[in-house]
Structure 1
Amino acid sequence: MDKIAVLIPCYNEAKTIEKVVTDFRRELPEAVIYVYDNNSSDGTDEIARKAGAVVRYEYQQGKGNVIRRMFAEIDAECYVMVDGDDTYPADQVQPLVDKVLNKKADMVVGDRLSSTYFEENKRPFHNFGNSIVRGSINLLFKNDIKDIMTGYRAFSYRFVKTFPVLSKGFEIETEMSIHAIDKNMYVENSVIEYRDRPEGSESKLNTYSDGFKVIKTIIRLFKTYRPLAFFGVIALILAVISGAFFVPIFVHYTKTGLVPKIPTLIMSGFVMIAALQSLFTGLILQTMYAKNRQDFEMELNRVTREARDDK
């Protein structure tokens, strides 16, 4: 097991990868630096290899697929994940590593949003999107992670080996954050500076399509991790709709003894049945979720013992 592993997922980062690898070798001389090339066509892998990194490959396109491969293949006491675009300073990595190794944090978030991100980032919709995602997740999942979508993080062994990677692309950071919150992992924030990409280096993010994927991921994970709240909201909306159609019919019946608009009354009844079905679906899934949480805690204990034995 490595003491520290620096994980750098890369896709066409030839302009910056040498500097990133060199900077992290200087700051963490005891670390093994892994560059996972994701079908680059600009020689990123050879440049990284010459700079001293261990180069491996993931042929399924997408950052989530690369992270899945990294987490499966590498064993370390502390993992540092960083992008290969030189937007995150290597000289601020030590606090992240210290919090994992010395404070037993499971995930340390490199917080860009509390420092220079909004000044450095030249894409206003990215700024807006980061704020919306951070606010919605902290509201829905009752936490205070300062930067949900940062690519600069440190992880413990037990986080990495119990994190089920489901996302294929850039929404992976959102999935990591929600997993840590839901599983009551010890999460720390560490403020870091952020600098925009150097001239000639192009972002792989698409503001709208990737933003839409992130929103879908939040909804999917909210349904998975908070099923009673998710289906309870649907049940409430359906019940309100049913009541809005039923009340006027009921009022008319109390005054005249007649039931007008029979089809509307029938529709109202079916909508109320759907509301009850949604509510009971949430209750059943909430019970299953509670059992999954118990199973996860047992798996977490097993992985923790495994890490202790491997040291």
Structure 2
Amino acid sequence: MGEWSDVCVLIPTYNEAAAIGQVLDGFEAQGFEHVLVMDGGSDDGTQEIARDHGADVREQTGSGKGQAIREAVQLIDQPYVLMLDGDATYRPDEAPAMLEPLLDGEAEHVIGNRFADMESGAMSRLNRVGNRLINRAFRVVHGRDFVDILSGYRAFTIESARRFALTADGFGIETEMAVECVKHNVTTEVVPITYECRPEEAETNLSPFRDGAVILMTLYRMAKTNNPLFYFGSVGIVSTLVGIMLGGYVAVEWFTRGISHEVIAIVSALGIIFGVQLLIFGVLSDMIVTLHREQLHYIERLSAENQPNDAGRPGDSGRREPSSEGDERS
């Protein structure tokens, strides 16, 4: 049993033939025994190259990165997962730093911060601005600062991942995972990493505008169950303000020109009533969500107290016990 026998390296791929061999060689050099490549039906030889480099290759049943991760989580037997893209933008030699918070029992989920050390040209200016905007929106909507929620370099316990309700198919999956960490109070740490330029032969599967819009919609959609006050309140405020502005216009027209706008007045009243109702509904929903979280945390605490403290089990809060002298981390 090697040093990383409790870790499965998960690599979702789609047409990564130009880089996947380099990535797999890097993890082999680091001593990782379990590497799972979940492929989305590549037609450029990605699967054959991955098998030639010793990876366990599975073809997912659906399409998209999110589907690959959902299927992989059900297949993995190891208690710890190190996940990254197969485009050679993440460094295998930084895997120990990513896994350290998990193995020390300090976190259940680790996010690699690409902005800590990003090579020139690794990310376009448009993508950089989009990432900053999305991270800022995440802080506002969900109340946590994970610095780089779109990072594809992550480490997590398989037990925590199986608690997540993941539905996104594409690049919105990282956003969903970040929101689920907040929703389920999963202890999360951010680790600085290096983000490198992809090989010239490797083409990106990311569409900045399309995928950016999907990610922002995922952020907003998931606020419905994680931050309902923002979800319903934002629409309620807009509706109320529109109603007030229309009402102001009707009042000005009536007092200055003697013109009545009955239809606009009715629309104004309906907008104000609808907006106030949404605000009230948001407050009530937020109270229900808060109560639900408190009850869930109480149940989880009772369950943890009644579980035997067996070292090395998934979800165990203590430090992993090495299976031999060679299993000690340097």
Name the residue aligned to 2:9: 6
Counterpart of 2:116 in 1: which secondary structure? Answer: coil
Q: Which amino acid aligns with 1:9?
A: P
User: For residues 103-130 of structure 1, what are the alpha-carbon distances to aligned partners after superposition, in whole Å with 9 as ceiling and x for unaligned?
Assistant: 331111111112115x232522111111
Quick check: 1:235–1:274 contact (8 Å CA) kept in 2? Answer: yes
Name the residue aligned to 1:87: 89
Higher helix content, 1 or 2: 1
Post-superposition shift, 1:187? Answer: 1.1
- CA gap of 1:246–1:188, structure 2 versus 1, over 3 A, is same
Q: Which amino acid aligns with 1:143?
A: R
Name the residue aligned to 1:44: 46
> Which of the residues 76, 79, 84 maps onto 2:78?
76
Name the residue aligned to 1:97: 99
Name the residue aligned to 2:229: 228
Counterpart of 1:111 in 2: which secondary structure? Answer: strand
- CA gap of 1:102–1:28, structure 2 versus 1, over 3 A, is farther
Name the residue aligned to 2:272: 272
Q: Which amino acid aligns with 1:81?
A: M
User: For residues 259-283 of structure 1, what are the alpha-carbon distances to aligned partners after superposition, in whole Å with 9 as ceiling and x for unaligned?
Assistant: 9444343332222221233123324
- Distance in 2 (alpha carbons) for counterparts of 1:159 and 1:14: 31
Please list, as runs of the form range in 1=range in 2, the aligned pairs for 1:236-247 lying within 5 A after superposition: 236-246=237-247
**TM-score, scaled to structure 1:** 0.87
Name the residue aligned to 1:19: 22
User: For residues 15-71 of structure 1, what are the alpha-carbon distances to aligned partners after superposition, in whole Å with 9 as ceiling and x for unaligned?
Assistant: 221221121122143x41111121011221122112111111203110000001011
**TM-score, scaled to structure 2:** 0.83
Quick check: 1:157–1:307 contact (8 Å CA) kept in 2? Answer: no
- Distance in 2 (alpha carbons) for counterparts of 1:192 and 1:160: 22
User: For residues 61-97 of structure 1, what are the alpha-carbon distances to aligned partners after superposition, in whole Å with 9 as ceiling and x for unaligned?
Assistant: 1000000101122132211001111110000110111
Counterpart of 1:20 in 2: which secondary structure? Answer: helix
Kindly report the root-mean-square deviation, in angstroms, between the aligned alpha carbons of the 2 structures. 2.8
Name the residue aligned to 2:289: 289
> Which of the residues 110, 113, 126 maps onto 1:111?
113
- CA gap of 1:111–1:249, structure 2 versus 1, over 3 A, is closer
Counterpart of 2:224 in 1: which secondary structure? Answer: helix
Quick check: 2:73–2:158 contact (8 Å CA) kept in 1? Answer: no
- CA gap of 1:45–1:248, structure 2 versus 1, over 3 A, is closer
- Distance in 1 (alpha carbons) for counterparts of 2:72 and 2:19: 21
- Distance in 1 (alpha carbons) for counterparts of 2:58 and 2:164: 21
Counterpart of 2:79 in 1: which secondary structure? Answer: strand
- Distance in 1 (alpha carbons) for counterparts of 2:210 and 2:190: 28
